[in-house]
Chain A
Amino acid sequence: MDFFERFMIPHPSPAIYAAMVAIVLTSIAIVVGLTYFKKWGYLWREWITTVDHKKIGIMYLISALLMLFRGGVDALMMRAQTAVPENALLDAQHYNEIFTTHGIVMIIFMAMAFIIALMNFVIPLQIGARDVAFPRLNAVSFWLYFMGAMLFNLSFVIGGSPSSGWTSYFPLAGDELSPSVGTNYYMLALQISGLGTLITGINFIVTILKMRAPGMTLMKMPMFTWSGLITNVIIVFAFPVLTVALAMGTMDRLFATNFFTTTDGGMDMLWANLFWVWGHPEVYILILPAFGIYSEVISTFSRRNLYGYNSMVASMVIISLLSFVVWVHHFFTMGQGAMVNSIFSITTMAIAIPTGIKIFNWLLTMWKGKIQFTVPMLYSLGFIPIFTIGGVTGVMLGMSAADYQYHNTMFLVAHFHLVIIPGVVFAMIAGLTYWWPKMFGFMLNERIGRWAFGFIAGGTCLAFFPMFISGLDGQARRMYTYSESTGFGFWNMLSFIGALGLAVGFILIVYNIYYSTRYASRDIGDDPWNARSLEWATHNPVPEYNFAITPQVNSSQAFWDSKKNGHTLFKGGYKEIHMPNNSGVPFVMSVFFFIFGFAFVFSMWITAVVSLIGIFACMLHRSFEKDHGHHISVAEIERTESELRGARNE
């Protein structure tokens, strides 16, 4: 009996039991459904073993949307709990768990997955490549991320969720103050999915540096690809810090080491330090791809070349360097002297300069442009003012002397949500809507999309602007309730209403996907937006090999040149195409990683060792495997191409 007791939730509630039942029922439904419709083989052949960057991108996308709803429900529960004073909907412990999982799920498992989804799908197409540099490794990345996400979500029903905040500061996150296995889940799940992200980083740097179409020099890359390159450089340099910090934290919790303890020579603040050495670059990992998406969208729908290409690139390079030298602004109040705080204040404020350059470049792109108010463009237009407010309040927080006033209040919460939501979530929805026809061969409904935008933009403002006021009035973040006399009630109620608006917006997006899948026209051609970069030069849907003939590039908008300036993209005839083979090993290895993580969480060492052997066996198998990929014959290319062309001409 003892063995099973460890899996119990230490602090259960009816909601958790209901979730357990729901998870079991959904799992049964999925298994029964797959068996009934005989889809197991299809799932295995087409998705689980795939190494195709487009399919991996779509799997990232689906996972990100699932996680968006998990994190969104967390957010709604938080806002509901604080909507009125002295609310008893949640108790303190549950509230702690919910804001912890909300943060992690949204940042690591939603936003990261979303940007990697779009990078996966778009970048190889934008540079005219057939796949990423290491397709098999790409599958490893996805499955590691996926298993990490599943492991983290499992904590909800087995063993209990982490509850020491998404930053998981020690000593609170140490095993004395957080004795439940929740924080173990945090450490292991982030470690596993972080490995996946690191691999993605290496993969995409190599892809972008080595696999561009002939003629595409670095300074002729589309802006989204540039942002992807810079993002992945930051990933490669920032994520190892998190890896090390998580390893040290895990050892502190499980093996009684003293890296972050308050005794025996440990240094608890070192965790916060290392966390933010990774954490601040992480912010730019999320936001730079978003900037790339806005550059593409704004230039496409203003019908103009992107203004200030060189300064866009330069500002991203500067941001990538500066993002590594500002991290102390997350703990100005921890006790460093004025000198240290001033240094990091100045570096922090310096970041506003390249960011400002980008904002002005977008404005100048739209200036004298013929603006089309499509859904992606609406999000881009909404992004600029809301993000600017979020950014400017960030500069306020970045002034260390003033930060003592704002630190750990709802003012901070308002600031970073008003940066991340327009900066990342808007961009992801804009990118999703923009590239949706490339992914699935039909467009999302514009009218429903505009309604969704209205609810999301309005909801964002209504949910987070009141927090500036209640924060300045002294409402601390992460407080599970407050008394009526504080006067926070009104502002929190407004936030709750805003959160409901956001929820309606996201439900509309889901409805839009359903509606458009059923009713949207499939006859949209290859280039429904009249766009400018290479991904639109191939068919809808994109064939396995992306481009039948490798395109020739002469500028940063080669496709536009081919449409308007008589540039020939595709020279010569079809040649045999060499493509990588599918493989089940990435999935199997990631399952071993999942078991390894789970065993580690509960200190089941025999299982951990066995699964570790499994992981190494998979690597060994790869080392001795002879896999030369497969070739697509000219006849088959001709068949596919004429089919895809025929589908369009009908």
Chain B
Amino acid sequence: MKELFPIKHVMGFVFSLILTSVALLVYILDMSFALGLTILLITAFAQAALQLVVFMHAGESEDKGAIYTSVYYGIIIAVLTVFGTLLAMIWGYV
């Protein structure tokens, strides 16, 4: 019975619903901009990771290495771009 019931996927689905409702709270509840954005950022990244691992089977094929390398590479580039832009356009702008 245990093999037949896709417990991992059901749990994943429930968890992604929870993440969505937490993100929705930002709109419903009255909170500060900073807090709202922090919640959105965290839930968004958790959601993306969840989808990638559970529903897109990132770690289940022989290409595991290539897939995770490209994901990490993408994250590094994105972080460098965003923070570099903030640095050049806002923080370091005189």
B contact residues around A209 at 8 Å (CB): 63, 66
Contact A237:B88 (CB < 8 A) given known A209-B63, A209-B66, A335-B93: no
Contact A324:B93 (CB < 8 A) given known A237-B74, A273-B88, A336-B88: no
Query: Contact at B77–A343, with CB atoms within 8 Å?
Result: no
Interface assignment of A573: CB less than 8 Å from any CB of chain B: no
Query: Contact at A336–B81, with CB atoms within 8 Å?
Result: no
B contact residues around A343 at 8 Å (CB): 87
Set B63, B70, B73, B80: member contacting A325, Cβ < 8 A: B80
Contact A237:B92 (CB < 8 A) given known A209-B63, A209-B66, A343-B87: no
Interface assignment of B94: CB less than 8 Å from any CB of chain A: yes
Query: Contact at A328–B88, with CB atoms within 8 Å?
Result: yes
Contact A340:B88 (CB < 8 A) given known A209-B63, A277-B81, A324-B81: yes
Interface assignment of A497: CB less than 8 Å from any CB of chain B: no
Interface range, A side: 20 to 34
In the assembled complex, the CB of B58 is this many whole angstroms from the nearest CB of chain A, namely 15
In the assembled complex, the CB of A464 is this many whole angstroms from the nearest CB of chain B, namely 30
Interface assignment of B7: CB less than 8 Å from any CB of chain A: no
Contact A336:B73 (CB < 8 A) given known A327-B84, A343-B87: no
Scan B42-62; emit 1 where CB is below 8 A from any A CB, else 0: 000000000000000000000
Query: Contact at B94–A325, with CB atoms within 8 Å?
Result: no
CB-CB nearest in chain A for B78: A237
Interface assignment of A241: CB less than 8 Å from any CB of chain B: yes
B contact residues around A328 at 8 Å (CB): 84, 88
B contact residues around A339 at 8 Å (CB): 92
Query: Contact at A237–B63, with CB atoms within 8 Å?
Result: no
Main secondary structure of the interface of A (DSSP, over half): helix
Query: Contact at B94–A337, with CB atoms within 8 Å?
Result: yes
- Bound together, the chains give a CA A289 to CA B87 distance in angstroms of 32
In the assembled complex, the CB of B3 is this many whole angstroms from the nearest CB of chain A, namely 30
Interface assignment of A612: CB less than 8 Å from any CB of chain B: no
Interface assignment of A150: CB less than 8 Å from any CB of chain B: no
Interface assignment of A549: CB less than 8 Å from any CB of chain B: no
Interface assignment of A588: CB less than 8 Å from any CB of chain B: no
Interface assignment of A267: CB less than 8 Å from any CB of chain B: yes
Interface assignment of B28: CB less than 8 Å from any CB of chain A: no
Query: Contact at B89–A270, with CB atoms within 8 Å?
Result: yes
Within 8 A of B (CB), among A291-350: 321, 324-325, 327-328, 335-337, 339-340, 343-344
Contact A267:B89 (CB < 8 A) given known A237-B77, A324-B80: yes
In the assembled complex, the CB of B72 is this many whole angstroms from the nearest CB of chain A, namely 12
28 contacts between A and B (CB under 8 A): A209-B66, A233-B70, A237-B74, A237-B77, A267-B89, A269-B89, A270-B85, A270-B89, A273-B85, A273-B89, A274-B85, A277-B81, A277-B85, A321-B76, A324-B77, A324-B81, A325-B80, A325-B84, A327-B84, A336-B94, A337-B94, A339-B92, A340-B87, A340-B88, A340-B92, A340-B93, A343-B87, A344-B88
By a beta-carbon cutoff of 8 Å, the part of chain B in contact with chain A is: 63, 66, 70, 73-74, 76-77, 80-81, 84-85, 87-89, 92-94
By a beta-carbon cutoff of 8 Å, the part of chain A in contact with chain B is: 209-210, 233, 237, 241, 267, 269-270, 273-274, 277, 321, 324-325, 327-328, 335-337, 339-340, 343-344
| Given A209-B63, A335-B93, 7 new contacts (CB under 8 A) | A273-B85, A273-B89, A277-B85, A325-B84, A328-B84, A336-B93, A340-B93
Q: Which 6 pairs show the lowest CB-CB distances between chains A and B?
A: A340-B92, A337-B94, A337-B92, A328-B88, A237-B77, A336-B92
